[in-house]
């Protein structure tokens, strides 16, 4: 018996469909979805935030915000929601994220598994560019930022996926298909988790 919240980390390249699939998981399995990127954008947009400029610099440069900021935003959102199961989307993205999470939150949560979306870079890039063209308003859905985001993904995030893979905690889903097709496999990954 554990009273700790259960969490699933959701990782994958920019545009691999993490946010899209998380919404479906929320509906079916009753998790609360916390996107690290969304929380950072919200903090950046908060008038008077001391971190606004720093966050925006990292977002347009495709680099990763120091974990103290992101982890605090995640913990605050977890406490505020009062839920006992969370999808933590886009985190941990590098070794600093992983270390900071483990020391601040590791003992407070139960990591269920890591959901990993595998998708070719060209597909992901096209999706993000389309998202930008469709008016996402994101300052990083452009070719220059995307190149840097992929660089970070390959060099900093993939080692984190490999770290969890070595512990047999990664459930991989091929994401280069329609959202509904992807979701069939996502549901399999959640096998054994009670529906909402």
Q: Is 15 in the site for ligand ADP (CB under 6 A)?
A: yes
Among 8, 18, 32, 59, binds ligand ADP (CB under 6 A): 18
Q: Judged by CB under 6 A, which stretch of 17-25, 50-58, 101-109, 144-152 contacts ligand ADP?
A: 17-25
Q: Is 72 in the site for ligand ADP (CB under 6 A)?
A: no
Kindly tell me which of 5 and 17 has the beta carbon lying closer to ligand ADP: 17
Which distant-in-sequence residues (6+ apart) come within 8 Å of 99 by Cβ? 67
| Binding at 17: pick from Mg ion, ligand C5P, ligand ADP, none (beta carbon under 5-8 Å per type) | ligand ADP
Dump the DSSP string for 75-118: HHHHHHH--SEEEEET---SHHHHHHHHHHTGGG-EEEEEEEEE
152 touches 63 (CB < 8 A): yes
Query: Distance (Å, rounded) from C-alpha 89 to C-alpha 18?
Result: 7
Shortest CB 106 distance to ligand C5P, Å: 16
| Binding at 182: pick from Mg ion, ligand C5P, ligand ADP, none (beta carbon under 5-8 Å per type) | ligand ADP
**Strand positions, DSSP E, the chain:** 6-12, 32-35, 85-89, 110-118, 170-174
Which residues of this protein are in contact with ligand ADP, per CB under 6 A? 12, 14-20, 127, 131, 178-179, 182
């Amino acid at each position: 018996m554990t009273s700790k919240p259960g969490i699933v980390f959701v990782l994958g390249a920019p545009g691999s469909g993490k946010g899209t699939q998380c919404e479906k998981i929320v509906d079916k399995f009753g998790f609360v979805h916390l996107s690290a990127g969304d929380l950072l954008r919200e903090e950046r947009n908060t008038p008077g935030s001391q971190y606004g400029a720093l966050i925006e610099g990292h977002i347009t440069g495709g680099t990763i915000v120091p974990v103290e900021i992101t982890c605090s935003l995640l913990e605050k959102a977890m406490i505020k929601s009062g839920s006992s199961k969370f999808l933590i989307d886009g985190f941990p993205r590098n070794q600093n994220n992983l270390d900071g999470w483990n020391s601040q939150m590791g003992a407070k949560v139960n990591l269920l598994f890591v959901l990993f979306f595998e998708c070719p870079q060209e597909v992901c890039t096209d999706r993000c560019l389309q998202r930008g063209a469709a008016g996402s308003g994101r300052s990083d859905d452009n070719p220059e930022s995307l190149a840097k985001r992929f660089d970070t993904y390959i060099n900093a995030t993939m080692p984190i996926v490999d770290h969890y893979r070595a512990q047999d905690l990664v459930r991989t889903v091929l994401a280069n298909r329609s959202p509904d097709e992807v979701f069939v496999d996502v549901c399999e990954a959640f096998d054994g988790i009670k529906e909402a």
